[in-house]
Structure 1
Amino acid sequence: MHNTSCHAALIGSYGNGKTHTLKFIKRQIENQLKDVIVVYISSPGDRILSLYSNFMYEFGFQRLENLVWRFLEFASGEKNLRKKVNEGEVLLPEILEIGKRRLFNEIKYTDFATAFLKLTMEECKFLAWKYLCGEPIVSDYRRELDVVTPIDNDDKALRAFMSLKRILSLLGNKLVCLLIDEFESVEYLLPILKQKMLNGIRHLIDLNPEGLCLIIGCAPEVWVDIVREYHAFSDRIFREITLRALNEEDVKQFISSYLRSSREESSDPPNDIFPFTEDAISEIHKAAEGNIRRTLMICNQAIDAAVEKGVSLITSDELKKLLPDLFELAET
């Protein structure tokens, strides 16, 4: 994935595990690859500006603040710069002037660069953060930041993203990976807004032949429409991955992993699926039809009901007693 732009669509019905899979991908990339930024975005929003803002919120204030100090160390050659500034060994205005000259040579979005450097100043760093996230900033506050116009449309949002990506690249970042969930929400946009949204993402892909990975999670019925109606966008998604419903063994492993992550370290269960039995797992699989979201819902409700009624082992028969309405409906 390093230095290569690759894009994929993760296709699955509601509850089939798109969110779990995207978050799993995030953990795997972060654990296995260095110099990579991975951001999970819960929804694309209604335009590119919204997508950019969601990206920035997930990127996070702390990470962005650390990034500006790393950039100033890179530009000035000073190590432990933040500590030296706080202790008075180095004057911040001098360092900012060095950083400004270097940054203005690297990116052409002057307002973005100015606000980015303002993150070093205690009196206005949170205002700079709001500006960089694309939030509305009144003119008086913009003057305080020394910026002229807000990031308030799709074109400026794309320029801002490209500016941030350039800064990351200067500091050794090889890849920015965007994991966009609930992509089917674009279907609810007005046709002209939907087209603008997809064209904007297509433009983002075209601007980044290297160093960008886009993985979107989408419901199959919406993805079919996108492929049929928006070739310019769908042709740039190199791979489609379809999530299937879980079989009974998958459900058993899934429940086991969830229980394992929730147990106290001192616990010593008789098996990995306790308090469920094998026949209970089979009933859960049939009732949920392999759907991850429904599987979790049934397990949560069953455990809560078992605790309330003092049931220590959830067998198939006990499961039906604990959740009679659900299993009567499933059998019907």
Structure 2
Amino acid sequence: MSNNFTITDQQRDYSQYDLRGNPFPYSPVPAENPEIFCGQDHVSEKISSTVSSVLSTGKSKHLVVTGKYGNGKSHTLKYTRSLLRDRDDVVVGYVAQPGEGFLDIYHEFVYDLGFTHLQNLAYEFLASITQECTDESPASAAAMRSLIDEGDVLLSEIIPEAIKQLSDITKFADFARAIVHMIYEDTNLYAWQWLTAEGIRYEQRKEMEIHSALDDDTMGVRAFTALKNMLLELGYTAVFVFVDEFESIARLSPKNEQATLNSVRHLMDQNSSGLCLLFGCAPEVWQDVMSEYHAFSERIGQEVTLKPLTSEHLSDLIADYLSLERVDGGAEESLRPFTEESLNLILQRSQGNVRQILALCSRLLDDAADADYETISVDVVEEVI
């Protein structure tokens, strides 16, 4: 009985194509910080216009990106997010899918920000209070932490004023106490659990003098608005929320779907400044939302659709991916080893679906390297398909 398994960590050799490696993903799932955008100027222009108007005016504006499965919605949202994350005047959070309701959206958003980021925001707020109440003038979260650790600022001097001012800003005293407790070693995990809507016991809330539970959509909207208002007070321009796979709300019961959409609508109504929601949604679900939930869809009003790739977009996409692994001074032919004819067949078979294109190109390049083909011709594509 023969054993045909051959497992090795030896890399394939792509040097005959002037490539260091296979640039196409084996599993075409969007990278966390994509280096390449899939073209489609009308989409990038619409997103740029939406984001830029929020940044320049401070007024809230929202957008839905629609497109069929595999046409690049998640990739587009993550690419936009990666561009915004380079800015230090905004806060950006990504929600993979809306879950069972708005409270899940809120939870995923805060979780994406992370414990450390939220704790730093607490120190930032305390720094602003310290500048008002003492002779110290910390300019950052790190400077504030250092002053507290070294005993140059006593928490007893600033905490009562911090809670009072943050309660006034957010209109939510329990939220203010939870934020302040993010700096205490004994209670910061409880505060984090409360702020992420994970739920904590009554005794743990009592220790922080928090009276309410963050356990329904209404409280989620209230907490989200409180967080955004705190950020604007700290000088941030806007909060950007990317909600992917919004079509999954269609799997909820009609009652829960309506409750989720109503909560998002209330969030938009309560935040006319400093908020930008960008949704990725399947077109058929978005059409249903527009026809059945006018009050929600009217508040967004902006939609842009990712279409299947054209032959021009496909050539640009393949050339961009190949350039990631192209050896310096390598082939001038940006599409090598693919031929124009093979790309036309790939486009035809995939119907312009980005996910299928990338998966197919990854397989084709490996098979061509294994078989030592000089080019990936139509015959090679037909054999693999």
For the Cα contact (< 8 Å) 1:76–1:98, is it kept in 2? no
Pick the aligned partner of 1:43 from 90, 93, 97. 97
Cα distance 1:167–1:282, how it changes in 2: closer, same or farther (>3 A)? Answer: same
Worse overlay, 296-305 or 163-172: 296-305
Cα distance 1:278–1:143, how it changes in 2: closer, same or farther (>3 A)? Answer: same
Please state how far the C-alpha of 1:42 moved relative to its aligned partner.
Answer: 1.4
Name the SS of the counterpart of 2:126 in structure 1.
helix
Worse overlay, 147-156 or 272-281: 272-281
Name the SS of the counterpart of 1:217 in structure 2.
strand
Please state how far the C-alpha of 1:121 moved relative to its aligned partner.
Answer: 1.5
1:70 is matched with which residue? Answer: 124
For the Cα contact (< 8 Å) 2:247–2:282, is it kept in 1? yes
Query: TM-score, normalised on structure 1?
Result: 0.89
Q: In the aligned structure 2, how far is the partner of 1:184 from the partner of 1:264?
A: 38
Q: In the aligned structure 2, how far is the partner of 1:222 from the partner of 1:172?
A: 37
Q: In the aligned structure 2, how far is the partner of 1:139 from the partner of 1:255?
A: 56
Worse overlay, 176-185 or 81-90: 81-90
2:67 is matched with which residue? Answer: 12
2:42 is matched with which residue? Answer: none
Q: Give 1:26-175 correspondences, 5 Å limit.
A: 26-31=81-86, 35-77=89-131, 78-79=137-138, 80-175=143-238
Please state how far the C-alpha of 1:138 moved relative to its aligned partner.
Answer: 1.9
Q: In the aligned structure 2, how far is the partner of 1:150 from the partner of 1:136?
A: 7
Q: In the aligned structure 2, how far is the partner of 1:129 from the partner of 1:106?
A: 20
- Unpaired segments ≥5 residues, structure 2: 1-53, 132-136
2:248 is matched with which residue? Answer: 185
The code of the aligned residue for 2:239 comes to V
The code of the aligned residue for 2:362 comes to N
Pick the aligned partner of 2:277 from 205, 214, 217. 214
Q: In the aligned structure 2, how far is the partner of 1:207 from the partner of 1:240?
A: 22
Cα distance 1:104–1:253, how it changes in 2: closer, same or farther (>3 A)? Answer: same
The code of the aligned residue for 2:198 comes to E
Pick the aligned partner of 1:228 from 291, 294, 300. 291
Q: In the aligned structure 2, how far is the partner of 1:271 from the partner of 1:92?
A: 65
Please state how far the C-alpha of 1:114 moved relative to its aligned partner.
Answer: 1.0
Q: In the aligned structure 2, how far is the partner of 1:88 from the partner of 1:310?
A: 69
Name the SS of the counterpart of 2:152 in structure 1.
coil
Pick the aligned partner of 2:382 from 288, 302, 320. 320
Name the SS of the counterpart of 2:242 in structure 1.
strand
Query: TM-score, normalised on structure 2?
Result: 0.77
Please state how far the C-alpha of 1:312 moved relative to its aligned partner.
Answer: 5.9
Does residue 290 in structure 1 map to residue 352 in structure 2? yes
- Unpaired segments ≥5 residues, structure 1: 327-332
Cα distance 1:97–1:267, how it changes in 2: closer, same or farther (>3 A)? Answer: farther
The code of the aligned residue for 1:131 comes to W
Cα distance 1:48–1:278, how it changes in 2: closer, same or farther (>3 A)? Answer: same
Please state how far the C-alpha of 1:36 moved relative to its aligned partner.
Answer: 2.2
Q: In the aligned structure 2, how far is the partner of 1:81 from the partner of 1:285?
A: 56
Name the SS of the counterpart of 2:94 in structure 1.
strand
2:362 is matched with which residue? Answer: 300
Cα distance 1:92–1:310, how it changes in 2: closer, same or farther (>3 A)? Answer: farther
Worse overlay, 94-103 or 109-118: 94-103
> Once superposed, what is the RMSD of the aligned Cα atoms?
2.1
Name the SS of the counterpart of 2:241 in structure 1.
strand
For the Cα contact (< 8 Å) 2:247–2:281, is it kept in 1? yes
Please state how far the C-alpha of 1:264 moved relative to its aligned partner.
Answer: 7.3
Name the SS of the counterpart of 2:99 in structure 1.
coil
The CA deviation string for residues 146-198 of structure 1, in whole angstroms up to 9 with x for no partner, is: 32232101111111101101110111112112221111111111011111111
Cα distance 1:145–1:267, how it changes in 2: closer, same or farther (>3 A)? Answer: farther
Please state how far the C-alpha of 1:100 moved relative to its aligned partner.
Answer: 2.0
Worse overlay, 16-25 or 244-253: 16-25
2:257 is matched with which residue? Answer: 194
Name the SS of the counterpart of 1:149 in structure 2.
coil
Q: In the aligned structure 2, how far is the partner of 1:264 from the partner of 1:150?
A: 55
Cα distance 1:260–1:173, how it changes in 2: closer, same or farther (>3 A)? Answer: same
Please state how far the C-alpha of 1:229 moved relative to its aligned partner.
Answer: 0.9
Q: In the aligned structure 2, how far is the partner of 1:133 from the partner of 1:305?
A: 47
Name the SS of the counterpart of 2:300 in structure 1.
coil
Name the SS of the counterpart of 1:214 in structure 2.
strand
The code of the aligned residue for 2:323 comes to R
Q: In the aligned structure 2, how far is the partner of 1:44 from the partner of 1:269?
A: 45
Identity of aligned residues (%): 37
Q: In the aligned structure 2, how far is the partner of 1:149 from the partner of 1:167?
A: 19
Worse overlay, 105-114 or 220-229: 105-114
For the Cα contact (< 8 Å) 1:35–1:173, is it kept in 2? yes
